[in-house]
Amino acid sequence: MGETGMETRRLILRAALDLFSVDGYARTSLREIAEKVGISKPALYYHFGSKEDLLVEIVRPLQDAMAELLDRAEAADPPPTGRDFFTAYFDVVMEHRQLSVWLSMDNAPRAHPALTERGWAQQERLIKLLRGDDDSFERSVEVACALGAMQVGIMTFATLGGLDQAREHILGAALRLLEGGRSDA
Residue 185 is assigned to a structural domain of this protein: no
| 36-84 pLDDT, tens digit each | 999 999 999 999 999 999 999 999 999 999 999 999 999 999 989 988 9
- DSSP secondary structure letters along the chain: --HHHHHHHHHHHHHHHHHHHHH-TTT--HHHHHHHHT--HHHHHHH-SSHHHHHHHHHHHHHHHHHHHHHHHHH-SSPPPHHHHHHHHHHHHHHTHHHHHHHHH-HHHHT-HHHHHHHHHHHHHHHHHHHTT---HHHHHHHHHHHHHHHHHHHHHHHHS-HHHHHHHHHHHHHHHHTTT-TT-
**How many CA atoms are closer than 13 Å to the CA of 100, on its beta-carbon side?**
23
Segment among 36-40, 104-108, 126-130 with least mean pLDDT: 104-108
82 within some domain = yes
Confidence at 14, pLDDT banded by 50, 70, 90:
very high
The average pLDDT across 93-122 equals 88
19 pLDDT more than 50: yes
Burial class (CB in 10 A: 0-12, 13-18, 19+), 184: exposed
Give the Å distances, CA to CA, from 119 to 103, 160, 172.
11, 26, 25
The predicted pLDDT at position 2 comes to 64
- 70 with 99, same domain: the answer is yes
Q: Is residue 184 part of a domain?
A: no
Backbone angles phi, psi at 79, to 5 degrees: -60, 155
- What is the extent of the structural domain holding 155? 59-178
More confident residue, 172 or 159: 172
- 39 and 64 together in one domain: no
Q: Output 22 or 180, whichever has higher pLDDT.
A: 22
pLDDT at 36 (0 to 100)? 97
Distance of CA 65 to the CA centre of its chain: 9
Residue 113 shares a structural domain with residue 77: yes
Q: Is the pLDDT of residue 117 over 90?
A: no
**Same domain membership, residue 110 and residue 22:** no
Considering its fold, how many domains does the chain have in total? 2
Q: Are residues 43 and 112 in the same domain?
A: no
Confidence at 181, pLDDT banded by 50, 70, 90: low
Report residue 164's pLDDT band, with 50, 70 and 90 as the boundaries: confident
Note the pLDDT of residue 1: 55
Q: Is 150 found in the same domain as 75?
A: yes
Judgement on whether residues 82 and 168 belong to the same structural domain of the protein: yes
* Same domain, yes or no: 94 and 13: no
